[in-house]
Every structure is written in C-alpha cells, then in structure tokens.
Amino acid sequence: MSNKKQRAVVICPGRGTYNKEELGYLQRLHSDKTEIISLIDDYRQRQGQLKVSELDAMDKYSMRIHTAGENASALIYACALADYQAINQAQFDIVAVTGNSMGWYIALAVAGALAPEHAITLINTMGSMMTDGLVGGQMIYPIINDDWQIDAAKEQQVLQWLAQANQQSGCEVHVSINLGGYLVFGGNKAGLKALEALLPVVQDRYPMNLFNHAAFHTPLLKDVSERALGLMSADMFKAPDLPLVDGLGQIWQPYSCDVAKLHRYTLDTQVVAPYNFSSAIEVAIKEFAPDKLIILGPGATLGGATAQCLIAQQWLGLESKADFIARQKQDAFILAMGLAEQRKQVLR
C-alpha cells in the first residue's frame, strides 16, 4: 500500500452503544488517556455524580445504572473521544465528522466546535435532563428485507400505522430517527403502545422498546429544549475545525459556520425534530468521497445501519447485505473501532 493518506469520515455513536460487552472499555483500551478522562471525571465529581472511570470499572454491568441518561451519555462520550484520539492521523485524513442522535454532541466535540470543558458540560447537561423521570420513550422497527434493502411499500405501511396510532385518544408518537433500515419512534406511553399493537412482530424481537430512552428528537422534548437554551449560550460554541454533517444532512463548514445557528440547531431543532442519520451518511459519502468510514466505539451497533445507508445509495456498487459482507472481507470500507479486528486497522 502507498503512503498516501486515506480520506476518512468519522461517525460518532449514540446513546445505546455502551452495553454489557463494553464494560471496562476505557480501562482496557484507554488507560493512557488520563487527561481527557480526568477532565470528565472532575466535572462529574463537581456535579455529585459517579465518575466515568468508576462506571467503567464496575464489577458488573447494571442496566439501571449504565443506561441512565446522566451516566450513559458521559460514559459513551469518554469512550468515543478517547477512540478518536487513538486514530492514526498519519494514515487517515479526517475530512468530515457526523454522528447518530447523541453522537451529534460527540461530533461537535470531535470536530472542535466545543472545547473539552464545554463539550462535557453540554453532554452531561443534556444527559441529565431527565433524572427525575423520562419524557416518553423510544421504539425501533425495521423497514428492510433480508438483503438489507429498504422496502418502500413496508415503510409506507408503517407510516400509515403511525398515523393511525396518532388518531387514537391521548396518543402522540413520531418518527424520531431514520436509522438506515430502521425507523426509531418517539412518543408518549399511550402512543407507543398503540403503535406497538399495530406493528406485526418480526424476527421475534421487533417492535422493540428501547430501555431508558426518552422521546428524543420529537416535539415532546420542547420543554427540554427550552431549558437547555436557557442554561447554555451560543458563547460555548465556535466554528468547527472539521466539516460537520448534522441530522438534517446539512454541512457546517469551518470557514462559513454561523455559530448562533449551530447553537440553535443543537439545542432546539435536533432535540424536537427527527434525526435523519440516513441522510447524514448519504451527504457524508457523496460530498466527501471517503476511502473509509470510521465508527468510534464503544460498541459497533451503528455498523449495520451505516451499511444499510450505503446499500440504499448503491455506494461502491453495494446492492445487498451479501455484497456488503463480501466487500468488508476483501477491503473493509466501514471500520468500527468497537470491533477488535477492525480497530487494529485504525490505530496509530
């Protein structure tokens, strides 16, 4: 292989990525990243919260503790940021950064739109907004066939069921995230229950309610958005050092970024409107033509959704799950740092 750097787009993970298998991720892989971990730990200690290093070092994984918003968000941020710092930048030229859902906040930090102390303030504040009780919930459902191709008729049918659920008394449910071959819905309890009753069970696991997730990216979070805007000003933000692709597929460029608009998008738009991860990936590949997509850890759950976005665009001639698997074996286009084998290809 030549010494020419490879163009890479970095993808930051969302809330559901630190699971039982990831316990000890920081200890195992990032014992050298003391500066960033201390900064996050010190901040959390001042808030009277458990340090991320303590959460990561627990003997046992606890759904209640590790998936709680105030813990999960800071923990995932620490893991993802440490992974980003471990990328071999002599090998990769990072041309853009994007993320899924909470991964947008991490993307802001990675791209330099938030200084480290502002990034932990934002991530921890947003993650701790519902310590007293979640606002609504989230549920995920596939709209793909076995070949990982989006089934347009199925998607239409699912959206019709969504409209039907909303016609029932006291029900409110919305599309929350477009996640490759899946739709994530956010709504109140009654709305999610009504939708769940209409959706046929597939693969014995969907529709699947996401534990400890609120109705993110829906109008139900209007109050959270207003509180966030009151707590955090645009002064915390600056123009990014790297282009950022957001959940509408908009690009925020280093030299033409309106910081006030970036602040408003982050604490208002994407909090209350759907997050289109599929659109973000489409724009990232078409506008930046990367040689690789690097998904930061912890976990590797975004790999499938990202692959489904590539298949939807027939990127690199990929038309099915089999095409993608064959391509990954031959010359992986997606490198997920949460997978040991792929991680090796990314490290310095």
Domain-embedded: residue 126: yes
Does residue 328 register a pLDDT over 90? Answer: yes
Peptide bond into 274 cis (omega under 30): no
Q: Do 182 and 227 sit in the same domain of this protein?
A: no
Give the strand pairing for 92-99 and 6-12.
parallel
Domain-embedded: residue 308: yes
Q: Do 252 and 337 sit in the same domain of this protein?
A: yes
Q: Do 26 and 125 sit in the same domain of this protein?
A: yes
Q: Do 232 and 339 sit in the same domain of this protein?
A: yes
Range of the domain at 125: 6-132+222-344
Count of structural domains within the chain: 2
Domain-embedded: residue 158: yes
Q: What is the C-alpha separation between 84 and 124, in angstroms, rounded? A: 19
Q: Do 128 and 148 sit in the same domain of this protein?
A: no
- The pLDDT of 24-50, averaged and rounded, is 96
Q: Do 148 and 236 sit in the same domain of this protein?
A: no
Domain-embedded: residue 1: no
Quick: pLDDT tens for 154-202: 999 999 999 999 999 999 999 999 999 999 999 999 999 999 999 999 9
Length of the chain: 348
Give the number of other CB atoms < 10 A from CB of residue 209.
13
Q: Match 């802001």 to its residue by tokens.
A: 108
- The pLDDT of 215-219, averaged and rounded, is 98
3-state helix, strand, coil in the chain (%, to 5): 50, 15, 35
Domain CATH code at residue 52: 3.40.366.10
Q: Do 299 and 248 sit in the same domain of this protein?
A: yes
- The pLDDT of 5-24, averaged and rounded, is 96
Domain CATH code at residue 185: 3.30.70.250
- The pLDDT of 87-91, averaged and rounded, is 97
- Taking the CA atoms of 104, 109, 112 and 114 in sequence, report the sign of the dihedral they define: positive
Domain-embedded: residue 81: yes
Do residues 233 and 263 touch, judged by C-beta distance below 8 A? yes
Residue 130 Cα to chain centre, angstroms? 19
Domain boundary among 214, 235, 251: 214
- The pLDDT of 106-115, averaged and rounded, is 98
Q: Do 289 and 336 sit in the same domain of this protein?
A: yes
- The pLDDT of 206-216, averaged and rounded, is 96
* Strand positions, DSSP E, the chain: 6-12, 92-99, 137-142, 173-179, 182-187, 208-210, 244-245, 251-252, 275-276, 292-295, 334-336
Helix (H) or strand (E) run with residue 80 in it: helix 69-86
Domain-embedded: residue 75: yes
Domain-embedded: residue 74: yes
Full DSSP string of 191-245 = HHHHHHHHSPPBTTTBSEEETT---TTSGGGHHHHHHHHHH--GGGB---SS-EE
Q: What is the C-alpha separation between 298 and 18, in angstroms, rounded? A: 6
Q: Do 176 and 269 sit in the same domain of this protein?
A: no
Does residue 1 register a pLDDT over 60? Answer: no
Q: Do 190 and 234 sit in the same domain of this protein?
A: no
Q: What is the C-alpha separation between 333 and 316, in angstroms, rounded? A: 9
Q: What is the pTM of this model?
A: 0.97
Domain boundary among 197, 214, 231: 214
Burial class (CB in 10 A: 0-12, 13-18, 19+), 135: middle
Q: Do 128 and 206 sit in the same domain of this protein?
A: no
Q: What is the C-alpha separation between 98 and 69, in angstroms, rounded? A: 21
Q: Do 45 and 67 sit in the same domain of this protein?
A: yes
